[in-house]
A and B are shown apart, each in its own frame.
Chain A
């Protein structure tokens, strides 16, 4: 049983300064029929806030979140009004997660669906092993982002670190700023009309106003798709 649930102006409020995180997550995993929104006060870097959501409700985290915020999200819209620790929205299936500040390493890792918006910078390995989700980063991304990304889209409004898109499969990346280095088998490709439309839509979804034409497309050269017996020494 949840110890106490406060409703303020129709929204449910959990204050993690006085209520256990487990109560919050058990509430979020229960029957949320009729609940439109849940607000989390004083998150103070707690781990695993709003993980495993499976309902179309809005969760507002008023402060900084720790590891794995909104991991495995389905249907919910989770907003971190602050920074997020490592593994934010990892393995997201659907819904929307937005971080108003920066997100640490591994944001959106292996997300199958949904949209992750990071208004600030993202740390290393953002979108690693992306499997179909979309990620929009308002600032820069750290090294090794989109490593082995299989499906989905990343829009990076700032710069990217080393090894961007190493061993990409079918995911497509769009970068507005400088790329320090591309990873193995990633290459720049011309922007087509579909690319412009995709970037435009994702920027609009993220509430960002950059011009889609300022972005460059990065996709897999597909040279690693098949084993090349002649160059086995390079593997």
Chain B
């Protein structure tokens, strides 16, 4: 079991409150996923010449100042934003260069996300603990994708927590389980795509990104996924300007959507939406199986 949450603010004046609105949504899904949780937040994009890289280290005592100094020397220019075990590096460097440097000099540090809009946080612990550790309530932005995990098929580790990312400004969270993640993985590895964990969800994330990267629309990529994914899934995906939601043909895993003039909110259960302003008058519905739902930032 796992919990998913998503929020897209149509009303721009609410964007400074994105985190404050989201934290009760995430904590509301604690019973569905008490072992780990994570959040991808999409904010105002940095300049086209820049990229943001979210880094994570499992060691709470990790010396980020040391990394900052050395990475600054390597890159020439960069901004750093450190929160607990997490650091966002913004620079004009190619993300792969940052990734390679981190891998060479700090193998215990992992790259969680890359993009112009996305910041990504994920860690083990109760959703309330993870939210407090990284001050989720202070997040601002246009939309986000969050997850609470109850591991069923791979270990409880920060790497196996969701959201997963691939490429730039793309993330995915999953409630369910895939029966053929290794077939998907082998198929993608043959095409040179590298995996970083043994979680089934990473297969789904990299599969869809692989198809998007080939120029397919999200709708077409998901049509292929219905053929190629064997298992149960409610998937919530985020791009720099969009949230997308899909349930497997048997709708094995729940989802409910509440839409008002101000926002679109998605959760595994209504319980996580009950506190949202104006939810009593929202258009509330359950997404139908095999249908692709998407909402764009205006």
- A residues touching B (Cβ–Cβ < 8 Å)? 42, 44-47, 63-64, 66-67, 83, 85-86, 101-102, 104-105, 123-124, 142-144
Q: Once the chains bind, are B251 and A105 in contact (CB under 8 Å)?
A: yes
In the complex, are the beta carbons of A44 and B286 less than 8 A apart?
A: no
Q: Which residues of B contact A47 (CB under 8 A)?
A: 271
A232→B41 CA distance, assembly (Å): 55
- Assess whether A45 is in contact with B274, with CB atoms less than 8 Å apart: yes
CB atoms of B286 and A104 under 8 A apart: yes
- Cβ–Cβ contact A102 & B270, under 8 A: no
Is the pair A86, B254 in contact by a Cβ cutoff of 8 Å? Answer: yes
- Tell me if A66 and B289 are in contact (CB < 8 A): no
Question: Interface residues of B: mostly helix, strand, loop or mixed?
Answer: loop
Chain A facing B: main interface SS: loop
Contacts A102-B285, A104-B286, A142-B289 given: A66-B251 contact, CB under 8 Å?
no
* A-B pairs, 5 with minimum CB distance: A45-B271, A44-B274, A45-B270, A64-B270, A124-B251
Do A83 and B270 form a contact, CB below 8 Å, given A64-B284, A143-B289? yes
Q: How large is the interface on B (under 10, 10 to 19, 20 to 34, 35 or more residues)?
A: 10 to 19
* CB of B293 closer than 8 Å to a CB of A: no
A14 to chain B, nearest CB (A): 16
Q: Provide the bound-state CA to CA distance between A102 and B251, in Å.
A: 16
Asked if residues B269 and A45 are in contact (CB atoms below 8 Å), the reply is yes
- Sampled A-B contacts (22; CB under 8 Å): A42-B274, A44-B271, A45-B270, A45-B273, A47-B271, A63-B274, A64-B270, A66-B269, A66-B271, A83-B284, A102-B285, A102-B286, A104-B254, A104-B256, A123-B251, A124-B251, A124-B289, A142-B288, A143-B250, A143-B251, A143-B289, A144-B250
Residue in chain A with minimal CB distance to B247: A124
Known pairs A104-B254, A124-B251; A64 contacts B286 (CB<8 A): no
- CB contacts (< 8 Å) of B269 on chain A: these are 45, 66-67, 85
